[in-house]
Structure formats: structure tokens, C-alpha cells
């Protein structure tokens, strides 16, 4: 494969994320399975039960799950942990749920080296094209991610029917970029006391399917604020 070289003038928020992942010593992941209801959760189906009197057995709707809930495919050596940060406000908590799904979809696409169906569901223009370029770049270079990526201190603001903003922190101290074939770590160049702490901002919009999608993403590296609250 021919490695793609990036045009610095064309680097968007996604390109910066790839640089973040390359230069960070590590990153903490979204453990939506632990902190966001339904995220990444799975398990064996319950055994079928034969009705004793010819009637269908009753089901508990609360345990039935959401048929539209996404599932994610991560390798055993990568984990994304997202703090719950729920507020008790149904609208904000719905946004936080989909924001968590979006972060998981982004990381899933990095480790799979392609834009996944989950990514298409939770990301939109203009930022999605930057990330899709990065996934191709990872594929061309033969790279993937390993380690643990943590997301925390998520705060919702400016929420309306049209869109909303979320500010949050990332700790990427434990994430590394690896060569897929050799398993060797891609050298990093990050420097500074707080280089693995990032203060991140995203803009989300309502999609036609009524879930939220990320449309804008930006951040500052070396956040002392995020280091203090880690």
C-alpha cells in the first residue's frame, strides 16, 4: 500500500486527533459498557422457554433492551472508558449517551482502520470527512490503537432542537499507536508535563433518525484543568 501524506493546510480536528494518538504516551478509553447504559454490552441470549399453556411467555420490557442500540467491536487490547456524567435531565442525558456512542464509534473506526456503520450513524459533516481520511491513513500505514482511553468531566451547554455543545476532558496517557503486523509501538514525540491531558469541545446536531451526531470537534492539549480533575 502507498502511504498517504497529509496536506497540513487540510488538517482538521480529526487530523489533530490522529496526531494526538500518535504523540501521546497513551489514552484512556470509553468504557461505555460500564458507564453509559447499554454501550458495548452483550452476552448470551436467555434460553427459550416453552409456554406451559400454549400462551407466549411474558417479557419484561425494561430488560428487553433498545433494538436501535449500537454494538461495538474492539480488540481485547483496547478499551475506551467514558465517565457517566449524567445530570438527571432527560434531554441532556440523551445527548451524553449519543456523545459516548460517537466517541466509541470513532475509536472503533481507528482500530478497524475504516469508517464503520457506527461512525456513519454518529458523525456528520463537516468533521466526518477529516476522520475518514485519518482512518484510511491508519490503514495505509498499517497502524492500530492499543491501551485504555479515558473520557471524563463531560458538560452539556447550549442545548436546543437544532444542536448542542459538549466540553469534556481526555486522558490519553495509556493509549499507544502500534504496527498491526509487528505489534511494535509507533514512536511518540509528545512533550510537556500535561501533554496527555486534553480539553475537548464538540458540537452535535440532531440526525434524521433522531439521534445526535458530532459535526464539529476541537481541543487544547496540555490542559492543567483536566489534569487537576483526572
pLDDT at residue 66 in the model: 54
Q: Which domain holds residue 112?
A: 11-39+68-173+190-229
What is the total count of domains within the chain? Answer: 1
Whether residue 1 is predicted with pLDDT greater than 70 in this model: the reply is no
Q: Is 49 contained in some domain?
A: no
Residue among 7, 3, 209 at smallest CA distance from 121: 209
- What radius of gyration, in Å, describes the C-alpha atoms of the chain? 19
pLDDT tens-digit map of 87-113: 999 999 999 999 999 999 999 999 999
Name the strands in the sheet holding 212-221, side by side, starting at the edge strand that comes first in the sequence.
78-82, 143-157, 163-179, 197-206, 212-221
- CATH value at residue 101: 3.10.450.50
Q: Is 211 contained in some domain?
A: yes
Q: Residues 147, 176: contact at Cβ < 8 Å? A: yes
Q: Is 63 contained in some domain?
A: no
Q: Is 206 contained in some domain?
A: yes
Interaxial angle between packed helices 90-112 and 13-23, expressed in degrees from 0 to 180 and rounded to the nearest 10: 60
Q: Give the CB-side neighbour count of residue 223, counting CA atoms within 13 A.
A: 22
Q: Is 134 contained in some domain?
A: yes
Pairing of strands 212-221, 197-206: antiparallel
Q: Is 17 contained in some domain?
A: yes
Q: Residues 17, 134: contact at Cβ < 8 Å? A: yes
pLDDT tens-digit map of 19-56: 445 433 333 333 333 333 333 322 333 333 344 455 54
Q: Is 23 contained in some domain?
A: yes
Whether residue 159 is predicted with pLDDT greater than 90 in this model: the reply is yes
Q: Is 58 contained in some domain?
A: no
Average pLDDT of the residues in 217-226: 94
pLDDT tens-digit map of 104-147: 999 999 999 999 999 999 999 999 999 999 999 999 999 999 99
Average pLDDT of the residues in 164-193: 92
Amino acid at each position: 500500500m502507498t502511504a498517504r501524506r497529509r496536506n497540513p493546510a487540510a488538517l482538521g480536528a480529526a487530523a489533530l486527533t490522529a496526531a494526538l494518538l500518535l504523540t501521546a504516551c497513551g489514552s484512556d478509553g470509553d468504557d461505555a459498557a460500564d458507564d453509559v447504559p447499554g454501550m458495548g454490552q452483550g452476552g448470551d441470549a436467555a434460553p427459550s422457554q416453552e409456554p406451559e399453556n400454549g400462551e407466549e411467555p411474558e417479557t419484561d420490557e425494561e430488560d428487553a433492551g433498545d433494538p436501535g442500540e449500537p454494538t461495538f467491536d474492539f480488540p481485547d487490547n483496547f478499551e475506551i472508558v467514558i465517565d457517566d456524567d449524567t445530570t438527571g435531565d432527560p434531554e441532556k442525558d440523551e445527548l451524553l449517551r449519543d456523545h459516548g456512542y460517537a466517541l466509541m464509534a470513532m475509536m472503533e473506526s481507528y482500530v478497524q482502520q475504516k469508517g464503520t456503520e457506527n461512525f456513519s450513524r454518529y458523525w456528520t459533516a463537516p468533521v466526518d470527512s477529516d476522520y475518514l481520511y485519518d482512518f484510511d491513513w491508519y490503514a495505509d500505514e498499517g497502524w492500530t490503537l492499543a491501551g485504555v482511553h479515558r473520557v471524563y468531566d463531560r458538560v452539556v451547554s447550549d442545548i436546543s432542537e437544532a444542536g448542542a455543545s459538549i466540553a469534556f476532558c481526555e486522558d490519553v496517557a495509556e493509549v499507544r499507536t502500534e504496527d498491526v503486523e509487528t505489534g511494535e509501538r509507533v514512536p511518540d514525540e509528545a512533550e510537556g508535563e500535561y501533554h496527555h491531558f486534553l480539553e475537548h469541545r464538540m458540537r452535535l446536531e440532531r440526525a434524521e433518525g433522531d439521534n445526535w451526531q458530532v459535526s464539529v470537534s476541537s481541543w487544547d492539549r496540555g490542559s492543567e484543568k483536566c489534569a487537576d480533575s483526572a
